[in-house]
């Protein structure tokens, strides 16, 4: 079956690291075109790729089937809308949109245009998340009572991506890193009943939020989601406590590291964590108390693209639905409201 002609809306880190390597190595896709306003980075790395100087020119090319909107957050709604109206299937980077209203409009438009729309929540395919999901699916901890997810960093400098550091719609770490953790929590536990949030700017150099602490309320469970840019010695990325036991897992980023090193997806060792990053399981199993380190699952962002191929060519469901992306935005909006009002906000 014909490969899916795919176009990238930018060739910064997102295009260079997270998308192009998987498109190039998957025979079901062809990296057909890239929108670069002045540079030719994509052509230099991948000869034969078309370069367009304007979005309108790229949208007008009928050979483009799938467009990836991997531009700044505030552009997601506008560019995705234009792509859908031009008859393209669309992958939009997380966060889906800045507001719930924008996301709802795009969901309705995709249905009207009969086009596939998906949000690139690639962290569902990380080894650490896949490992904790397996632990929970196998009910090794019993009924869960508490979970805590961290995505911490230590940085005394601002991001070189200037658009991330200028106050405005969709900026700040809650939209950036928070989108990943919220999506993971919602996939594991569903939508919470309520949210309490503390969102702050903690570095003197920062103009946008670089710290958040969210508490998601479920009937018998509390889920804490945290991120800070002033954590030199990080805590475990995932802490799970249940009626039978606990699982503690470091936050790992092996695929991003491999991609930045220029390694090719799918090769031997792809997505495999070092043994030092294994999670600790302390629980009761078959009447015995066990305390042991668990081999991590293998991560692979390519699984997302496998799902997109099936969705476009065989009319299957997209791997990450826009409704799931919209739920993340619902939590983010509720979190900002909670932070402003200084109290719990019901969902």
Cβ atoms of residues 30 and 8 within 8 Å: no
Torsion angle in degrees (nearest 10) through CA of 211, 94, 342, 168:
80
Is residue 311 situated within a structural domain?
A: no
Is residue 317 situated within a structural domain?
A: no
- Helices 173-189, 322-341: inter-axial angle, 10-degree rounding: 120
Is residue 19 scored above 90 in pLDDT? yes
Place of tokens 């390597």: 21
Is residue 1 scored above 90 in pLDDT? no
What is the average per-residue pLDDT within 22-35?
Answer: 97
Is residue 157 scored above 80 in pLDDT? yes
Which pLDDT score, from 0 to 100, does residue 165 have? 83
CA distance 317 to 314: 9
**β-sheet with 66-69: strand ranges across:** 50-52, 29-35, 4-8, 66-69, 89-93, 117-120
Pairing of strands 117-120, 89-93: parallel
Percent of the chain past pLDDT 70, that is, above it, reads 100
Domain boundary among 104, 120, 136: 120
Q: How confident is the model at residue 163 (pLDDT cuts 50, 70, 90)?
A: confident
For residues 104 and 140, membership in a common domain is answered with no
Q: What element of type H or E holds 181?
A: helix 173-189
What is the average per-residue pLDDT within 153-170?
Answer: 85
> Exposed, middle or buried by CB within 10 Å (0-12, 13-18, 19+), for 255?
buried
Domain boundary among 120, 141, 165: 120
Is residue 337 scored above 90 in pLDDT? yes
For residues 205 and 252, membership in a common domain is answered with yes
Close Cβ partners of 108 (under 8 Å, ≥ 6 residues apart)? none
User: What is the per-residue pLDDT across 51-104, written as a single tens digit (0 to 9) for each?
Assistant: 999 999 999 999 999 999 999 999 999 999 999 999 999 999 999 999 999 999
Q: How many CB atoms neighbour CB 150 within 10 A?
A: 20
First to last CA, the chain: 44
Query: Which neighbouring-strand residues pair with 51?
Result: 34
Which pair of tokens denotes residue 38? 């002045």
For residues 87 and 145, membership in a common domain is answered with no
> Exposed, middle or buried by CB within 10 Å (0-12, 13-18, 19+), for 90?
buried
Residue 113: domain span: 4-120
Is residue 219 situated within a structural domain?
A: yes
- C-alpha to C-alpha distances, 13 to 57, 96, 245, 259, 340, nearest whole angstrom: 23, 18, 40, 10, 33
Which pLDDT score, from 0 to 100, does residue 311 have? 98
Q: How confident is the model at residue 119 (pLDDT cuts 50, 70, 90)?
A: very high
| Domain count along the chain | 2
For residues 34 and 76, membership in a common domain is answered with yes
Is residue 323 situated within a structural domain?
A: no
CATH number for the domain harbouring residue 239: 3.30.360.10
CA distance 236 to 252: 10
**Apex 273 CA angle, 271 and 275, nearest 5:** 155
Mean pLDDT of the chain: 96
Is residue 336 situated within a structural domain?
A: yes
For residues 154 and 285, membership in a common domain is answered with yes
CATH number for the domain harbouring residue 38: 3.40.50.720
For residues 11 and 98, membership in a common domain is answered with yes
Is residue 162 scored above 80 in pLDDT? no
Residue 228 φ/ψ region, left for φ over 0, alpha for ψ in the -120 to 50 degree band, beta for the rest: beta
pTM beyond 0.75: the answer is yes
Which pLDDT score, from 0 to 100, does residue 300 have? 96
For residues 137 and 283, membership in a common domain is answered with yes
For residues 89 and 192, membership in a common domain is answered with no
For residues 184 and 91, membership in a common domain is answered with no
For residues 238 and 116, membership in a common domain is answered with no
Is residue 16 scored above 80 in pLDDT? yes
For residues 99 and 238, membership in a common domain is answered with no
For residues 285 and 145, membership in a common domain is answered with yes
Which pLDDT score, from 0 to 100, does residue 253 have? 85
Cβ atoms of residues 176 and 195 within 8 Å: no
Is residue 306 situated within a structural domain?
A: no
Domain boundary among 120, 155, 181: 120
């Amino acid at each position: 079956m014909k490969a899916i002609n795919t176009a990238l809306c930018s060739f910064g880190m997102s295009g260079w690291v997270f998308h192009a390597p998987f498109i190039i190595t998957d025979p079901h896709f062809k990296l057909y075109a890239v929108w670069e306003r002045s540079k030719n980075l994509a052509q230099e790395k991948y000869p034969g790729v078309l370069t367009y100087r304007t979005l309108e020119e790229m949208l007008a090319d009928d050979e483009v089937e799938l467009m990836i909107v991997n531009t700044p957050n505030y552009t997601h709604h506008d560019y995705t809308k234009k792509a859908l109206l031009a008859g393209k299937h669309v992958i939009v980077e997380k966060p889906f949109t800045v507001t719930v209203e924008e996301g709802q409009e795009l969901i309705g438009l995709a249905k009207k245009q009969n086009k596939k729309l998906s949000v690139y929540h690639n962290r569902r395919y990380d080894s650490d998340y896949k490992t904790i999901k397996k632990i929970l699916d196998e009910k090794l901890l019993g009924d869960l009572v508490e979970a805590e997810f961290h995505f911490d960093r230590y940085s005394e400098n601002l991001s070189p991506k200037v658009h991330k550091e200028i106050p405005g719609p969709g900026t700040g770490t809650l939209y950036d890193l928070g989108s990943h953790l919220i999506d993971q929590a919602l996939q594991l536990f569903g939508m919470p009943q309520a949210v309490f949030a503390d969102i702050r700017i903690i570095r003197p150099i920062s103009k946008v939020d670089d710290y958040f602490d969210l508490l998601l309320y479920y009937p018998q469970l509390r889920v804490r989601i945290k991120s800070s840019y002033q954590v030199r010695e990080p805590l475990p990325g995932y802490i799970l406590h249940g009626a039978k036991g606990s699982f503690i897992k470091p936050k790992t980023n092996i695929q991003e590291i491999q991609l930045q090193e220029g390694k090719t997806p799918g090769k031997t060792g792809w997505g495999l964590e070092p043994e030092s990053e294994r999670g600790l399981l302390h629980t009761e199993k078959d009447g015995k108390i066990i305390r042991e380190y668990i081999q991590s699952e293998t991560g692979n962002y390519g699984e997302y693209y496998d799902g997109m191929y099936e969705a476009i060519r065989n009319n299957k469901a997209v791997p990450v639905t826009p409704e799931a992306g919209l739920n993340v935005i619902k939590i983010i909006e509720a979190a900002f409201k909670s932070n402003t009002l200084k109290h719990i906000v019901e969902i």
